[in-house]
């Protein structure tokens, strides 16, 4: 497979808060809750759409976050030593938006979601740092229209508006392609064997095609219901 990669421009107004670098003391406190794991270049730590994923702190080496779509990979960001993975979906237990892969060999600290939540609740300083970073990262993704969903629609379609509102209400980032305005829309339609009469269409993770889906179908595809069920079981 010939993988291509394109850079993804994200705002960097508060880069120190969006991608903070933890102190050695903070890393030691996290290490006490997790396990050390060696990584080699190319190791995939979780895949886009995974229903469960761990939280990672980079001790050495680098982790890259990429958005796969067919043979194309979009680089979202790179986590270096002292930085950590995750965003709001990590807290709620929703399916992962991206692929996480080792860009350089090194070591990471791994915590499952349960231990990460316990850490945030017991360590106020780390809880504040992680929560702020997770929220700001999701805000950046929504603003940039970057996620695991592509919506092909029309400004003249009431269902297109409904789907947009549903995704925004759930804080889920997505890319939007307008049938009347985007010159490349026909190529995308041809690639997925779609016709303009099937608009609006939602493409999940570059593989699941939903034609004029209901809100429930969208929730099922993106794992919204799974995260709600998981949260309820923890109460």
Residue 147 Cα to chain centre, angstroms: 6
Q: Which CATH number fits domain 149-234: 3.30.70.1020, 3.40.30.10, 3.30.70.60, 3.20.20.150?
A: 3.40.30.10
pLDDT of residue 81: 97
Apex CA 123: angle with CA 117 and CA 129, to 5°? Answer: 80
- d(CA 27, CA 111) in angstroms, rounded, equals 12
- Could you state, in order of their start, the residue ranges of all structural domains in the chain? 4-144, 149-234
Q: Find the farthest-apart pair of alpha carbons in the chain and give their distance in angstroms, rounded.
A: 58
From first to last of its 235 residues, the chain has per-residue pLDDT tens of 344 444 555 555 477 889 999 999 999 999 999 999 999 999 999 999 887 789 999 999 999 999 987 778 889 999 999 999 999 888 878 888 899 999 999 999 999 999 999 999 999 999 999 999 999 998 888 888 888 888 999 988 999 999 999 999 988 888 888 888 877 777 777 777 888 888 899 988 877 889 999 999 999 888 876 544 443 344 4
HSE of 2, CA atoms in CB hemisphere, 13 A? 0
Q: Do 149-234 and 4-144 fall under one CATH topology?
A: no
Cα–Cα separations (whole angstroms), residue 9 to 52, 100, 149, 222: 27, 18, 18, 24
In this structure, are residues 58 and 129 in contact, taking their beta carbons and an 8 Å threshold? Answer: no
Report the run of H or E that residue 77 belongs to, with start and end.
strand 72-79
Would you state the pLDDT for residue 10? 52
Is the N-terminal amide bond of 200 cis, ω within 30° of 0?
yes
- Angle formed at CA 130 by CA 126 and CA 135, multiple of 5 degrees: 150
* Topology of domain 4-144, CATH: Jelly Rolls (2.60.120)
């Amino acid at each position: 497979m010939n993988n291509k990669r394109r850079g993804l421009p994200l705002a960097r107004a508060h880069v120190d808060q969006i991608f903070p670098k933890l102190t050695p003391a903070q890393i030691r406190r996290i290490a006490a809750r997790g396990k050390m794991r060696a990584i080699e270049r190319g190791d995939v730590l979780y895949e886009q759409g995974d229903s469960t994923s761990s939280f990672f702190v980079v001790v050495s080496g680098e982790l890259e976050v990429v958005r796969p779509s067919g043979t194309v990979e979009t680089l979202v960001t790179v986590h270096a030593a002292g930085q950590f993975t995750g965003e709001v979906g990590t807290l709620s237990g929703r399916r992962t938006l991206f692929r996480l892969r080792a860009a350089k060999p090194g070591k990471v600290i791994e915590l499952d979601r349960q231990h990460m939540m316990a850490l945030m609740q017991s360590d106020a300083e780390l809880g504040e740092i992680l929560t702020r970073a997770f929220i700001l990262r999701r805000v950046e993704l929504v603003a940039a229209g970057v996620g695991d969903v592509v919506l092909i629609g029309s400004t003249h379609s009431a269902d297109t508006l409904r789907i947009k509102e549903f995704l925004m209400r759930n804080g889920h980032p997505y890319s939007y392609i307008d049938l009347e305005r985007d010159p490349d829309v026909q190529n995308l339609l041809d690639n997925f064997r779609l016709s303009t009469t099937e608009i609006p269409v939602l493409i999940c993770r570059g593989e699941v095609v939903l034609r004029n889906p209901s809100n429930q179908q969208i929730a099922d595809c993106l794992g919204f219901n799974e995260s709600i069920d998981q949260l309820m079981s923890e109460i």
